[in-house]
Amino acid sequence: MTKNLDQYFIHTYNRSVVFEKGEDVYLYDNKGKKYLDMGAGIAVSALGYSNEEFKQGIKEQIDKLIHISNLYYTKPILSAAEYLAKASGMDRVFFTNSGTEAIEGALKLARKYAYLKDNSSKGEIIAMEHSFHGRSMGALSVTGTKHYREAFEPLIGGVSFAKYNDLESVEKLITKDTCAIILETVQGEGGIYPASEEFIKGIRKLCDENDIAMILDEIQCGMGRTGTMFAYEHYGILPDIITSAKALGNGVPVGAFAAVEKFAKTMCPGDHGTTYGGNPLAAAAVCKVFEIYKKEGILDHVREMSSYFFEKLKTLLEKYPSVVKEVRGKGLLLGLEVSCPNGEIVQKAMEKGLVLLTAGSNVVRMAPPLVIKKEHLDECCHILDEILSEMS
Ligand SMILES: *Cc1c(COP(=O)(O)O)cnc(C)c1O
């Protein structure tokens, strides 16, 4: 082991722990230290680390066929597409390798629809302040954090930013050249802000009135994280285009964008493609995820754990009002807004064997494996209690 761990890396992350294995909802580092995992590899490992059916499913697929390109169908990709379409209420799907690529596809689809409607469309997009959609040039262009974007401009043109949960600020930005409004149903990296019902419904109405695409980014908040398969189900609306990734493959890299027929049908052979996207290995993982969610009643479990956890976190809010400002979120995507540096809490937690995430500049984010149990949530709150008492 080299002394300077990041010697061979482009320094885009500050990291120091070397993890070796996972078991159930725990991680072990190279020194054998055990950590309760409240991060799930950033809302990815929904089934935890010991789901034998999942592991068996991908092992069997490795023995059959890992990759074939998208010039051909495979059984897993046919099933994965059907699972995702039916679960999301979308008509057609396209599999990618990551969330970022799903965003790229969604933006292209919205622009293609506008282009066919009127060949003079300028393809303008309205995105949200404090949003996060990824780091590629397209996804970065709709990411609402200036310091992520600034050094990499010029990005794609025609993007403007509205205030999240402020319908009027969105309305003001709509012009005849707008082709899409893109937002997260629950803002994740920005600080765990769920959309208000009025906001989501208002955006649905604006998109209908202007015949433009409503794109919901469900990469972090989808796939059961909020207690429904997709977070927009809480609002009783259907977007035109969705993006998924993170928990979609439970750790096997895969994403997707999906759309209702009106939009989906505008894409033709040659318009978009990917060599790996949704290859048999990734697709087998997606199928297993949907099958296991159903068999194990993951959505009901998330709802039950969420209300239990929320109540416990609220007692911490009452106990440490000088440090904890708010508890918010949906399902098992929860945030503690704190008045001390959030990174310091995450650091202290690591020392005590608890993996937490940050969000924004002042939120401690928790996105544990969805199979987490009450005893684990108790353990998490016990450690948080210790840390908060040291900080207040
Ligand atoms: C993580 C994330 C992305 C980017 O996904 P990658 O798989 O990292 O490319 C996009 N949108 C949201 C809301 C995310 O949380």
133 alpha carbon to ligand 1 midpoint, in Å? Answer: 5
Is the pLDDT at 183 greater than 70? The verdict is yes
- Kindly report the average pLDDT of the chain as a whole number: 97
CA distance 333 to 247: 12
Q: Which of 42, 132, 164 maximizes ligand 1 atoms within 8 Å of its Cβ, making it the mutation to test the pocket?
A: 132
Ligand 1 surroundings by CB, under 6 angstroms = 98-100, 103, 132-134, 184, 188, 217, 219-220, 245-246, 255
The answer to whether the pTM exceeds 0.95 is yes
- Cα 71 to ligand 1 centroid, rounded to whole Å: 27
Nearest atom in ligand 1 to 246's CA: 7
- Taking the CA of residue 217 as reference, the ligand 1 atom at the shortest distance is 13
- Say which CATH topology domain 53-296 has: Aspartate Aminotransferase; domain 2 (3.40.640)
Average pLDDT of the residues in 380-390: 98
What is the mean predicted confidence (pLDDT) over 170-175? 98
Dihedral sign (CA 215, 221, 223, 226):
negative
**At residue 121, does pLDDT exceed 80?**
no
Tens digit of pLDDT for each residue in 267-323? 999 999 999 999 999 999 999 999 999 999 999 999 999 999 999 999 999 999 999
| Mean predicted confidence (pLDDT) in 143-163 | 96
Please report, for the chain, the start and end positions of each structural domain, with discontinuous segments joined by +.
19-51+297-391, 53-296
- Span from the CA of 219 to the centroid of ligand 1 (angstroms): 6
What's the CA-to-centroid distance between 68 and ligand 1, angstroms?
A: 26
Nearest CA to ligand 1 atom 5: 99
Q: Provide mean pLDDT across the span 64-78.
A: 98
The CA 88 to ligand 1 mean position distance, Å, reads: 18
Q: How far apart are CA 289 and CA 225, in angstroms?
A: 13
pLDDT band at 4 (very low <50, low <70, confident <90, very high): confident
Q: How far is the CA of 180 from the centre of ligand 1 (A)?
A: 19
Q: What is the pLDDT of residues 11-70, one digit of tens each?
A: 999 999 999 999 999 999 999 999 999 999 999 999 999 999 999 999 999 999 999 999
3-state secondary structure of 27: strand
β-sheet with 34-37: strand ranges across: 19-23, 26-29, 34-37, 354-355
Q: Structure tokens of 349?
A: 């937690």
Q: 100 CA to middle of ligand 1, Å?
A: 6
Selection from 306, 58, 320, 26 nearest residue 186 by Cα: 306
- Predicted pLDDT at 240: 99
* Amino acid type, 244: S
Top mutation candidate among 133, 140, 216, 230 for ligand 1, by most atoms within 8 Å of CB: 133
CATH homologous superfamily for the domain 19-51+297-391: Aspartate Aminotransferase, domain 1 (3.90.1150.10)
- Whole-angstrom distance, CA of residue 329 vs CA of residue 310: 9
Residue 305 Cα distances to 312, 373, 376, angstroms:
11, 7, 10
Residue pair 95/77 in contact by the 8 Å Cβ criterion: yes
Does position 334 have pLDDT exceeding 70, yes or no?
yes
Which DSSP category does 246 fall into? Answer: G
